[in-house]
Amino acid sequence: MQIHCRYCAAEIPPENINLDNLVAKCSSCNAVFSIAGELRMAEGEKPKKSQRQSVPMPKYVQVEETPGELKITRKWFSLLQVPLVFFAVVWNGFMLFWYSIAISTGQGQMALCGTLHLAVGLFLIYTVATNFVNSTLITANAEQLDIQHGPIPAMGNKTLTAVDIVQVYCKQTIHRGKNSTSVTYEVLAIMNDQRRETLLNGLYNAEQALYIEQELERFLGIENRQVPGEMGTY
């Protein structure tokens, strides 16, 4: 059985697991947490039912359900991403000025020195474009759960066998910087072999994550139960 950190999802090495006290320590983030829930699940004991209240459909999420199929569309756009636009404009404006000087004066060394910063600028453009244009389409039916991002290509597309999914849950991740702290949310699935698959990550809205979990569990006939490390249960 593989045990993962409930805070950063890193795999816990066997030497960091204390079976006497039922605790584990993460080498990546130094978190110490109980593993009693994981052991109960591994032994076949069902976790407690969750009494979470129904989550209404949040902004930027649309649902279309037909007999035998559920489609959830989530737009990536969020007002929290607007400051990134200004940063990308300033960064790439400076790079445009840098390369215009390098080209006009024939300074190849100057252009070469700016290569890494140019790559960062292009990545910022890509990030801004995907945040404003892309959406995620989740399609569930009796055979499979399919996740596709587009129209701009992005990582995270996957297809899972629906009957292998035993639980869906949400996780909160706190990102601490020098001068700021931000929070993102993930939607994950536990498979029948206890493997954990990330369905969606990088969500800025907790209600979006909880709603998608709720609708997938409802459609797939999965009883909502508490999962160690799940948002709002520990």
pTM (predicted TM-score): 0.71
Per-residue pLDDT averaged across 172-199, rounded? 87
Region 187-208: mean pLDDT is: 92
Q: What is the pLDDT of residue 106?
A: 86
Q: What share of the chain is helix, strand, coil (3-state, %, to 5)?
A: 35, 30, 35
Given a cut of 90, whether residue 63 has pLDDT beyond it is yes
Distances in whole angstroms, Cα of residue 69 to Cα of each of 7, 141, 148, 230: 33, 5, 15, 27
For the chain, the structural domain boundaries read 1-45, 47-76+135-220, 79-131
Which residues does residue 175 pair with via DSSP β-bridges, in sequence order?
A: 182
Residue 151: asked if its preceding bond is cis (omega within 30°), the reply is: yes
Q: What is the pLDDT of residues 124-136, one digit of tens each?
A: 999 999 999 999 9
Residue 32 confidence (pLDDT) above 80: no
* Residue 146: exposure state from Cβ atoms within 10 A (0-12, 13-18, ≥19): middle
In three-state form (DSSP H/G/I as H, E/B as E, the rest C), the secondary structure along 124-186 is HHHHHHHHHHCEEEEEEECCEEEEEEECCCCCCCEEEEHHHEEEEEEEEEEEECCCCEEEEEE
Determine the topology of domain 47-76+135-220 in CATH: PH-domain like (2.30.29)
Confidence band (pLDDT; 50, 70, 90) for 45?
A: low
**What value does the mean pLDDT take over residues 77-106?**
90
- Helix spans in 27-113 (H): 36-42, 82-105, 108-113
Question: CA-CA distance, 142 to 108, in Å (whole number)?
Answer: 59
Cβ-contact 159, 148 below 8 angstroms: no
Rounded to whole angstroms, what are the CA distances from 107 to 38, 92, 114, 139?
Answer: 60, 19, 11, 52
